[in-house]
């Protein structure tokens, strides 16, 4: 399957949420990154056919998804940021309900539901009401419902929000396993979620697509620009005024910092191997939401 985003824009009154974005997606995992307000959710909602573009086209294997209509929706699985589950449903009942909406027959649906509940580690809770679930459990249930129809195009908006580090690793491995014959697009602030599994990274800022390249290609651009700096604590503010500063660690009266700069920010600065998290510093002037390290 190939999904083509052809000069797509989305306007909300006077606000441009997505501005003339073009991209092509084929089988594999794609990471969509950008700061809050970049337009990630708007773009994903258009790809999920929940929102209509103000201009441009989205095509699946060369056909406009407006023309494909239900045929396209049968090919996709979508996990929005806020699933809004019915709290009085059990996990099993909810998945049965979603399966019916997606047109799965009862026998196949029940088999698939059991398989997915095991996959997301909710088998023991399948008859408990969703209202008793933690945020992480609801997220895992959302992942299960997105996979119910065995989609060829999986659209995941912040899928690991609320998951603990062990669950996130398990989920990353799952995405890597299932991406061989399908497109997986996930947006995230947690860069380690995509660092090792993404075929390409799409960088979105102010509604515009800045780049669509492999992680390694983007990292190569940062060679010679990432530094480890140790300065007296009282000089941190001065450092932040002149350079893009990321992770900071206080050690007594000194500060160790990771800095993005074309030239050495201090005489004792030492070059570092770029990490995908440094993209946030380079393009957005902020660090990602990754707290795993």
How do residues 142-156 score in pLDDT, each as one tens digit? 989 999 999 999 999
Asked which of 218, 253, 281 is the last residue of a domain, the reply is: 218
Angle at 228 between CA 224 and CA 233, to 5 degrees: 145
Q: Has residue 288 got a pLDDT over 90?
A: no
Say if residue 25 is in the same domain as residue 157. yes
Strands 15-25 and 3-12: antiparallel
218, 240, 262 - which closes a domain? 218
Most confident of 52-66, 80-94, 164-178, 207-221: 52-66
* Cβ contact 280:210 at 8 Å: no
CATH number at residue 75: 3.40.50.300
pLDDT of residue 287: 52
In a domain? residue 282: no
Q: Over the stretch 102-145, which tens digit does the pLDDT of each residue have?
A: 888 888 899 999 999 998 889 999 999 999 998 888 988 998 99
pLDDT value for 290? 44
* Shared domain check, 250 and 145: no
Q: Does residue 272 contact residue 281 with C-beta atoms inside 8 Å?
A: no
**pLDDT > 90: percent of the chain:** 66
| Residue 125 lies in domain | 3-218
Across the range 163-169, mean pLDDT stands at 82
Q: Do residues 246 and 116 both lie within one domain?
A: no
Output the pLDDT for position 286: 59
- Residue from 158, 220, 183 nearest 23 by CA: 183
- Is residue 50 in some structural domain? yes
Q: Mean per-residue pLDDT for 230-252?
A: 90
Q: Is the pLDDT of residue 11 over 60?
A: yes
| Residue that is last in its domain, among 218, 250, 283 | 218
The candidate with the shortest Cα–Cα distance to 140, out of 83, 87, 74, 190, is: 83
Give pLDDT, residue 160: 82
Is the pLDDT at 192 greater than 90, yes or no?
no
Shared domain check, 234 and 169: no
Query: Is residue 49 located within the same domain as residue 191?
Result: yes
Structural domains counted in the chain: 2
The whole-number pLDDT of residue 291 equals 37
């Amino acid at each position: 399957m190939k999904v083509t985003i052809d000069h797509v824009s989305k306007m909300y009154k006077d606000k441009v949420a997505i501005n003339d974005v073009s991209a092509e997606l084929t089988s594999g995992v794609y990471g969509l990154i950008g700061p809050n307000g970049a337009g990630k959710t708007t773009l994903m909602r258009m790809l999920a056919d929940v929102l209509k573009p103000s201009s441009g086209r989205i095509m699946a294997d060369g056909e406009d998804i407006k023309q494909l209509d239900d045929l396209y929706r049968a090919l996709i699985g979508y996990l929005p940021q806020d699933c809004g589950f019915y709290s009085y449903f059990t996990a099993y009942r909810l998945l049965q309900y979603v399966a019916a909406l997606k047109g799965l027959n009862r026998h196949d649906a029940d088999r698939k539901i059991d398989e997915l509940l095991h996959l997301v580690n909710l088998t023991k809770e399948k008859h408990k009401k969703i209202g008793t679930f933690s945020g992480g459990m609801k997220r895992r249930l959302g992942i299960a419902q997105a996979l119910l129809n065995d989609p060829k195009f999986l659209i995941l908006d912040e899928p690991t929000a609320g998951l603990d580090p062990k669950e996130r690793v398990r989920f990353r491995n799952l995405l890597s396993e299932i991406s061989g014959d399908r497109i997986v697009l996930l947006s995230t602030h947690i860069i380690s979620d995509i660092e090792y599994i993404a075929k390409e990274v799409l960088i979105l800022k102010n509604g515009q697509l800045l780049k669509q390249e492999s992680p390694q290609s983007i990292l190569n651009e940062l060679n010679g620009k990432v530094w480890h700096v140790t300065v007296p604590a009282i000089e941190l503010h001065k450092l932040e005024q002149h350079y893009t500063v990321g992770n900071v660690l206080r050690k007594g009266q000194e500060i160790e910092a990771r800095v993005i700069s074309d030239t050495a920010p201090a005489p004792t600065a030492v070059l570092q191997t770029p990490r995908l998290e440094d993209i946030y510093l380079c393009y957005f002037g902020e660090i990602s939401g990754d707290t795993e390290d």
